[in-house]
Amino acid sequence: MAIAWSEKASSMESLSLSPPVSPSVILTQDELKKIAAFKAVEFVESGMVLGLGTGSTAKHAVDRIGELLLQGKLKNIIGIPTSKKTQEQALSLGIPLSDLDSHPTIDIAIDGADEVDPHLNLVKGRGGSLLREKMVEGACKKFVCIVDESKLVKYLGGSGLAMPVEVVPFCWKFTANKLQNLFQHSGCVANLRNDCKGEPFVTDNGNYIVDLYLKKDMEDLQVASDAISRIAGVVEHGMFLDMATTVIIAGELGITIKNK
């Protein structure tokens, strides 16, 4: 999707973008993701321990970190990847890596999201990496979420797309039914996620993903979150409540930065 970068961009914080964007240029969704990612990397300083997110938006941030390391503009960075895919990408860029066992406190994590509500609550995990992302992003002092404006929703689930839940493979249908029944009043449908070969999608942790499709607002998100977590068989869910400290949104009118 091509989006017009309006003249108004020049009066917003986007002025400090790198790479610079001239007004009225037509930007694709991927270019918007890249702009949000580059902006987030401006928060990174030498010597930091970084949570490295997963997905098409976070990929741009990891590329940028690799580029700045290569140029010597960033030094002594340690990355904590949130998926095997990001681990491979970071290694290919020469980013030194570690894990939460060795670095239980992370300075900044940068990651994308599938949905962002007005209170900066997120849905994550449509790429299947929610568990490691929640562990890493729950351990950081600052979590910078990067999105293009298509990810903004009035309420979580409001995009009509999946709210992912990672479940153990053992009797996954039993767990999926429990999840569907939990949100019966919201017209919820729970589907096992398949890979491109029609086989169950398997996460980096050897689990399955059940995608919940909700027709209504869950209203009290903390109650919904606790109820999902209490179901035996659930490993983790994709609602990231009160975790993002900053959300960077790249959109038609420029960049918007929202802080908690």
**4-12, 106-114, 182-190, 227-235 -> range binding ligand R5P (CB under 6 A):** 106-114
Task: Return the residue matching tokens 């709210």.
Answer: 163
- Of 79, 125, 157, 251, the residue at the interface with ligand R5P (CB under 6 A) is 125
Least distance to ligand R5P, CB of residue 7, Å? 27
Evaluate whether 121 touches 240 at the Cβ level (below 8 Å).
yes
- Of 114, 137, 166, 204, the residue at the interface with ligand R5P (CB under 6 A) is 114
- Of 36, 41, 52, 54, the residue at the interface with ligand R5P (CB under 6 A) is 54
The reply to whether 111 sits near ligand R5P by the rule CB under 6 A is: yes
Site for ligand R5P in 130-169 (CB under 6 A): 130, 133
Beta-carbon count within 10 A of 169 CB: 13
**Dihedral of alpha carbons 88, 91, 95, 98, sign:** positive
Catalytic residue among 7, 42, 67, 133: 133
The reply to whether 6 sits near ligand R5P by the rule CB under 6 A is: no
Interstrand relation of 122-123 and 106-111 (parallel, antiparallel or unpaired): unpaired
Q: Is 199 a catalytic residue?
A: no
Report which of 202, 58, 215 is spatially closest to residue 143, judged by C-alpha positions. Answer: 58
Judged by beta carbon, residue 134 or residue 178, the one nearer ligand R5P is 134
Find residue 166's DSSP bridge partners. 209, 236
- Of 66, 81, 128, 251, the residue at the interface with ligand R5P (CB under 6 A) is 128
**47-55, 166-174, 181-189, 190-198 -> range binding ligand R5P (CB under 6 A):** 47-55
DSSP code, position 194: B
How far is it, in rounded angstroms, from Cα 44 to Cα 77?
9
Report which of 246, 182, 243 is spatially closest to residue 214, judged by C-alpha positions. Answer: 182
Judged by beta carbon, residue 124 or residue 178, the one nearer ligand R5P is 124
The reply to whether 211 sits near ligand R5P by the rule CB under 6 A is: no
Evaluate whether 29 touches 252 at the Cβ level (below 8 Å).
no
The reply to whether 251 sits near ligand R5P by the rule CB under 6 A is: no
Complete edge-to-edge strand list for the sheet that includes strand 78-81: 78-81, 49-52, 106-111, 140-148, 246-251, 254-259
* Residues tagged active-site: 133
Q: Which residues bind ligand R5P (CB under 6 A)?
A: 53-58, 111-114, 124-130, 133
